Structure 1
Amino acid sequence: MLRIEKLTKKFGRNTAVDSATIHVDKPMMIGVIGRSGAGKSTLLRMLNRLEDITEGTIIFEDRKVSSLTGADKRAWQADCAMIFQQFNLVPRMDVVSNVLHGTLNRRSTLSTLFNLYPTDDIHRAIDILDRLGIAEHAPKRAEALSGGQQQRVAIARALMQDPKIILADEPIASLDPMNAQVVMEALRRIHEEDGRMVIANLHTLDTARRYCDRVIGMRAGRIVFDGLPEQLTTDMAREIYGADATFSEEATSTEINTIDRSAAKAALAKVTA
């Protein structure tokens, strides 16, 4: 389904991603872990073609993504939605309009200029917001929402593209533990219910183990681990993070230890209901 062969990105003399090879045969939820600067974000940006590729190839369902240009490249970016750490919403615009921006790739210049949307698209946007548990916020400005709610708006915008792959670049890095779990649960449900491939950059080992079918570990631009979550041992984590025997997984944990667990369950139930 997805073949990445010897993918490399260089910035001058620095190599951000070094000959990465990944084969994915079916839709999966994949976590990419590693310390800051390991090349995780650059890898996803090359997949989405936001970054030019120095060497290597990307092939998705017999489409050579790494060679696409112009309209073909934009069509791929519609099929490969991107979710960012900082949400990338329009703060003063209402939530439903932010979600509708996921249709910009297929709208005319005139309709974009006057902010005109088909009724069916508006209804679909609200349905997606309802699926993510935030439909009641549709008329509010995006800036009025919490960080976790804004990230779910960003996920809704991605779903409006009806993509084949969703790439999430550190989607929970700026969220508190409860909202982080809500967002990861939403991404997991999208994978399971829609059959979409989800690839998420993550800092935390417990999150990767809990939500992902497969984990890829990167260190200094190279893939040093590619396996099942249960194969991600503490020793392997030390290798990925370049840490010594003092390394503790608690330093990367997103487990909720200090908040009311009943409140966390209630928040998750609202999303999964």
Structure 2
Amino acid sequence: MLDVQGVTRMFGQKAAVDNISFRIDSPAFVGIIGRSGAGKSTFLRMMNRLLDATSGEIRVGGRNVLALKGAEARAWQSQCAMIFQQFNLVPRLDVASNVLHGILNRCTTLQTMFNFWPRADILRALEILDRLGIAEQAPKRAEALSGGQQQRVAIARALMQDPKIILADEPIASLDPMNAQVVMDTLKRINAEDGRMVIANLHTLDTARRYCDRVIGMRDGRIVFDGTPDQLSTGVARDIYGADAGFNEAATSTSLPADTTADGTYADLMLS
């Protein structure tokens, strides 16, 4: 399903990602772990085509996505949704409109300028928000939401694209433990229920052990570990993070918020 072969990204004389290769044959939940600067974000940005690779191939369904240009590259970005650490929402726009921005590449300039969306797309956006437990937030400005809620809006925007793969670049790095768990639970549920591959850059071993089917450890641009969560021993952690690094994340128990339904008045307004 995903075949990465010899992918390298140079910045001057330094290799941010250094000849990495791996293969994923099922829609698994894959965690990429390592210290800051290990090359995790650079790799995801290359995969999403936000950054060009210096060399190598990333094949999905037999097609090298690194070779795509123009409209084909943009179409690939729709199939490979990206979630960022800082959410990348439009703060002054309402939540529903932010979700609808997931399909901007399918809309005309006039639709975008006047925030005009087809009825079916509005209903789908509200349905996705309902699924993620934040439908009641649809009419609010994105900037009025908590960090955890904003990240779930970003996930909803990604789902609006109906992607095959979701890339999450440090999705919980700026969240408190309770919101971090809600976001990770949400991503895991999408992976399990939808059969979508999720590849998430993570800082900590406990998060990788709890949520991932497979873990790839990077250090200085290279893969130094590729295995299952139960193989993440202290020795392996030292290889990934260095002997002076801390390996544990405090476990905080929380649960997804209760499901809610969209506000009827706001739905009517969006659909009018």
- TM-score, normalised to structure 2's length? 0.93
Whether the 8 Å CA contact 1:186–1:271 is kept in 2: the answer is no
Residue equivalent to 2:267: none
CA distance in 1, matches of 2:15, 2:148: 33
Other structure's SS at 2:188 match: helix
Whether the 8 Å CA contact 1:84–1:170 is kept in 2: the answer is yes
| Matching of residues 4-153 of structure 1 within 5 Å | 4-153=4-153
User: Residue 186 of structure 1 aligns to which amino acid in structure 2?
Assistant: T
CA distance in 2, matches of 1:15, 1:248: 25
Aligned-pair distance for 1:152?
Answer: 0.1
Name segments (4+ residues, structure 1) moved above 3 Å. Answer: none
Whether the 8 Å CA contact 2:58–2:64 is kept in 1: the answer is yes
Whether the 8 Å CA contact 1:152–1:183 is kept in 2: the answer is yes
CA distance in 1, matches of 2:114, 2:257: 38
Aligned-pair distance for 1:248?
Answer: 4.2
- Aligned identity (percent) is 69
Residue equivalent to 2:239: 239
For residues 194-253 of structure 1, the C-alpha deviation after alignment (integer angstroms, 9 at most, x for no partner) is 000000000011000100000000000000000000011111001100225xx5433xx0
CA distance in 1, matches of 2:127, 2:230: 36
CA distance in 1, matches of 2:205, 2:221: 19
Other structure's SS at 1:187 match: helix
Residue equivalent to 1:194: 194
- Among 251, 263, 272, the alignment partner of 1:255 is 251
Structure 2: stretches of 5+ with no match in the other structure: 261-272
Change in 2 beyond 3 A, CA 1:271/1:16 = farther
Residue equivalent to 2:207: 207
- TM-score, normalised to structure 1's length? 0.93
Other structure's SS at 2:32 match: strand
CA distance in 2, matches of 1:167, 1:17: 17
Whether the 8 Å CA contact 1:30–1:199 is kept in 2: the answer is yes
Aligned-pair distance for 1:119?
Answer: 0.8
User: Residue 249 of structure 1 aligns to which amino acid in structure 2?
Assistant: F
Whether the 8 Å CA contact 1:214–1:226 is kept in 2: the answer is yes
Residue equivalent to 1:2: 2
Whether the 8 Å CA contact 1:165–1:196 is kept in 2: the answer is yes
CA distance in 1, matches of 2:224, 2:56: 18
Change in 2 beyond 3 A, CA 1:88/1:254 = farther
User: Residue 76 of structure 1 aligns to which amino acid in structure 2?
Assistant: W
Change in 2 beyond 3 A, CA 1:248/1:112 = closer
CA distance in 2, matches of 1:248, 1:121: 45
Aligned-pair distance for 1:109?
Answer: 2.2
For residues 178-200 of structure 1, the C-alpha deviation after alignment (integer angstroms, 9 at most, x for no partner) is 00000000000000000000000
CA distance in 1, matches of 2:137, 2:75: 30
Number of residues paired by the alignment?
Answer: 260
Other structure's SS at 1:30 match: strand
Aligned-pair distance for 1:110?
Answer: 2.4
Whether the 8 Å CA contact 1:111–1:117 is kept in 2: the answer is yes
Aligned-pair distance for 1:62?
Answer: 1.6
Other structure's SS at 2:93 match: coil
Whether the 8 Å CA contact 1:182–1:271 is kept in 2: the answer is no
Whether the 8 Å CA contact 1:204–1:254 is kept in 2: the answer is no
Q: RMSD across aligned C-alpha pairs, in angstroms?
A: 1.3
Residue equivalent to 1:270: 258
Aligned-pair distance for 1:66?
Answer: 1.0
